[in-house]
Structure 1
Amino acid sequence: MFEYRMHKVNEAELLREAAAQRLVRQARLARRGRRHTEHEAEGPVSHLRDLRDRFAHAA
């Protein structure tokens, strides 16, 4: 009976640890996703190549 109780205690501890690791992973992914959306809200940055194609050369 003692071994069974120890097994259940160990199982519960492993389940709590796995849940905590999942929570940390979700927080990291949410933070990473929030960073990307902040940068996307600013809009695309034009490069020098885009400027050369957009304007005609002076004579």
Structure 2
Amino acid sequence: MFEYEMQKIRQAELTREAAEEHRAAEARKARRERRSGDHEIEGRVNRQRKFRLVRAA
């Protein structure tokens, strides 16, 4: 009976670990998609331009 209980505990631990890895992979995928900009409807708001202001003559 003890081995059976230990097996169930180990199985629950492995299930939790797998769920954590799955959530981490989803977060990485979402971060990658957010960075790529391909899925944005309106585009980036905070776009930095090198020559934003032009000097007056």
Question: Structure 1 length as normaliser, TM-score?
Answer: 0.66
Measured on the aligned residues, the alpha-carbon RMSD in Å equals: 2.3
Residues 1:6 and 2:9 aligned together: no
Residues 1:17 and 2:4 aligned together: no
Within-5 A mapping of 1:40-55: 45-47=48-50, 50-51=51-52
Residues 1:34 and 2:33 aligned together: yes
Identity score, percent: 12
Q: Which amino acid aligns with 1:3?
A: F
Aligned partners of 1:56, 1:10: CA distance in 2, in Å? 70
Distance change (3 Å), C-alpha of 1:51 and 1:9: closer
Distance change (3 Å), C-alpha of 1:46 and 1:8: same
In our comparison, the structure showing a higher alpha carbon Rg is 1
**Higher helix residue share:** 1
Q: Structure 2, unaligned stretches of length 5 or more?
A: none
Q: Structure 1, unaligned stretches of length 5 or more?
A: none
Q: Which amino acid aligns with 1:26?
A: A
Give the aligned length: 50
